[in-house]
Amino acid sequence: MKTIKTTLAVVLISALGCFTLIGQNSFYIEIGGNYNNSANMIINLPNNYSYAAVSEMDYQAQWPETVRYYIYKISPTGDTLSWKYEKQDTLLLYNQLFYDQTTGNIIVCAKGYKLEEGGTVATGDFIWLASITPGFELNWERTYHFAPPGFALRWAHFLQLDNEEILFAGVSSHGPPSKMFLFRFNNIGDSLQFKGFPEVLGYDIWALTYSPDSTAFWLHQTRYAGDSSGFNCLVLDLTTYDSLNTFYYPEYNGYPSYAFHDPYSAKILPGNTFVAAGQYWVYEGNNSIDYLGAFKFDAGFNVLVENRLTEGIYNENIQVYPSTDNCIDYVYPDQIYVGGAFYVPPGYWNTADNWVYVAKLDQEMGLLWEKYLGGDAYYRSYGMAATHDGGVIITGKRYDENTNDFEHDGFAWKLDADGYVAIDENSSVQLKSAIVYPNPSPENTVYLRTALRNAVFMFFDLNGTQTGSPTHVNGVVTAIDVSPLKRGAYAWKLIGEKGVLETGKFIKQ
């Protein structure tokens, strides 16, 4: 049985000496129970209601009984309502959600299977598209067969066209090789146009946009096929979908070498520019490190601004993994959000604690703030959406080896425009503007990460006595010498001109 925990705070903003309620809510939702739950893709509507696709997996059951999918409606204050559409002898695995601006309805994309032998055998597969109202009423549903049986629908993306129709991009994989396709339909699901692309070793689609000047479609992808392999953007004719050009994301083959990598996301900005964010890999000798990078480009794919958000520590055990479905998003161009998971050790049932990472940028990719959520379990982030009240909501899953007995709990966190999220005082979940890692650590050097500036970092023993020398903090990452510390537990404080900015605990092993 699912359990949903919700914590809510309404933020009051002072303006001209008066307090005005501007509707900036923050909340923390945990979707738990006896199964492995995950909150995947998330969209936010103009009324600030959000819709998330949630999967529930029972590893003790046999396929296809092992998996169930729901759509959660999340109110601006964190109230939830779940919906599961069921068809007789059919299994639906939700792949993407999309807000249809023309009708105000939600397009749901799923991979479908026909169930036989009492529901214990899944045969054949197809693409299922449906339109539902915000209140979960079904407007229409359609099934499509774009590939031979056995295909896997991966990374589907939609684009609202200027004529109010919708363009759908997907990959039908029954190999390798895999085949990419574009499919155009109207607001009642009628098929208008289809184009398949040649089979190659592999495709992944990460975004579907107009070009910044609206003269072409841009299909942002990973392609594995000889000379055209890499992370690139296919430029397509607006009418025929024929290929006009290919742009490539940044890559440098010198020493050290680096490359823009997946998963990534892209959004068109005003002013004939666009932004993209995703993994960025740096190779130096036999070592590599990945970090979360955010870039601003002009219409010719020239880099205008490069922000290596999580760069600063060279340690192959520290990884950053962007939100898979969407890691960069905005409603207002001067409030751009980037999200993922930070300090991610390898493994699925991981016993190491890590953080969900959220950064807020201005239109020039300048860092306004960054926050770290969690710190008490193993987290992965899958979806992120900027919200119409100026905040952001991020989804994923959490694994706590101490209590969950090899189960994941889904989560949805809503941060307001200042990066605040309400957390129950009894929860072990933390919200930090600064973190120290690795923690615990046997090393003589650890790292402080924070977007806060002009501060001093200090360690204190459990009696409250300062130990070691203060460290001045002026950058995102600061190396902290812990060689004077004996083995044991310590408190730390980050102190600015107006007092204590952040606190935490550290264990020297």
Residue 318's CB is within 10 A of a number of other CB atoms, namely 19
Give the structural domain span for 459: 434-509
Tally of structural domains, the chain? 1
What's the rounded mean pLDDT across residues 176-182?
Answer: 80
Residue 346 pLDDT > 70:
no
- Which distant-in-sequence residues (6+ apart) come within 8 Å of 117 by Cβ? none
Residue 228: phi and psi, rounded to 5, are -95, 10
- What three-state secondary structure class fits 227? helix
Residue 366 lies in a domain: no
DSSP type of residue 256: S
Residue 152 lies in a domain: no
pLDDT in tens, 73-103: 999 999 999 998 888 889 999 999 999 999 9
Nearest by Cα to 482 from 450, 449, 508, 448: 508
Residue 360, both tokens: 């807020």
Query: How far is C-alpha 68 from the geometric centre of its chain's CA atoms?
Result: 21
Residue 151 banded pLDDT, cuts 50, 70, 90: low
Cα gap 349→347, rounded to integer Å: 6
What residue has token string 């009492």?
Answer: 118
pLDDT in tens, 373-384: 998 888 999 999
Residue 349 banded pLDDT, cuts 50, 70, 90: low
Return the pLDDT at 149.
58
Return the pLDDT at 406.
67
Residue 499, both tokens: 């007092």
> CA–CA distance from 416 to each of 19, 273, 358, 387 (Å)?
17, 26, 12, 9
Cis peptide preceding 76, ω within 30 of 0: no
Nearest by Cα to 101 from 52, 166, 50: 166
Residue 11 pLDDT > 50:
no
Q: Cα 269–211–360 angle (5° rounding)? A: 25
Contact 171, 154 (CB under 8 A): yes
Cis peptide preceding 438, ω within 30 of 0: yes
Residue 254 pLDDT > 80:
no
Residue 10 lies in a domain: no
What's the rounded mean pLDDT across residues 56-65?
Answer: 84
Asked whether the whole model's pTM tops 0.95, one would answer: no
Residue 138 lies in a domain: no
Residue 1 lies in a domain: no
Return the pLDDT at 120.
81
Average pLDDT of the residues of the chain: 85
DSSP notation for 285-337: TTEEEEEEEEEEEETT--EEEEEETT-S---TT--EEE-SS-SEEESSTT-EE
Q: Of 8-17, 112-121, 148-157, where does the model show the most confidence?
A: 112-121
CA atoms within 13 A on the CB side of 116: 6
CB burial readout 202-221, b (16+ within 10 A) else e: bbbbbbbbbbbeeebbbbbb
Return the pLDDT at 223.
80
Residue 360 pLDDT > 80:
yes
What is the C-alpha radius of gyration for the chain, rounded to an integer number of angstroms? 23
Return the pLDDT at 4.
56
Amino acid letter at 477? V
Residue 454 lies in a domain: yes
Return the pLDDT at 1.
38
Residue 250, both tokens: 């940044």
Question: Which of 247-251, 346-350, 363-367 has the least mean pLDDT?
Answer: 346-350
Cα gap 350→399, rounded to integer Å: 8
Cα gap 131→101, rounded to integer Å: 12
Q: Tally DSSP H helices, then E strands, for the chain.
A: 0, 39
Residue 201 pLDDT > 80:
no
Residue 349, both tokens: 């049932």
Residue 147 banded pLDDT, cuts 50, 70, 90: low
Return the pLDDT at 179.
81
Residue 38 lies in a domain: no
- Higher per-residue confidence, 203 vs 248: 248
Nearest by Cα to 76 from 359, 416, 327: 416
Residue 493 sits in a domain of what CATH number?
2.60.40.10
What residue has token string 């939100």?
Answer: 323
Contact 44, 72 (CB under 8 A): no
What residue has token string 């085949």?
Answer: 179
What's the rounded mean pLDDT across residues 251-279?
Answer: 87
Residue 466 lies in a domain: yes
What's the rounded mean pLDDT across residues 263-273?
Answer: 94
Return the pLDDT at 148.
61
Residue 21 banded pLDDT, cuts 50, 70, 90: very low
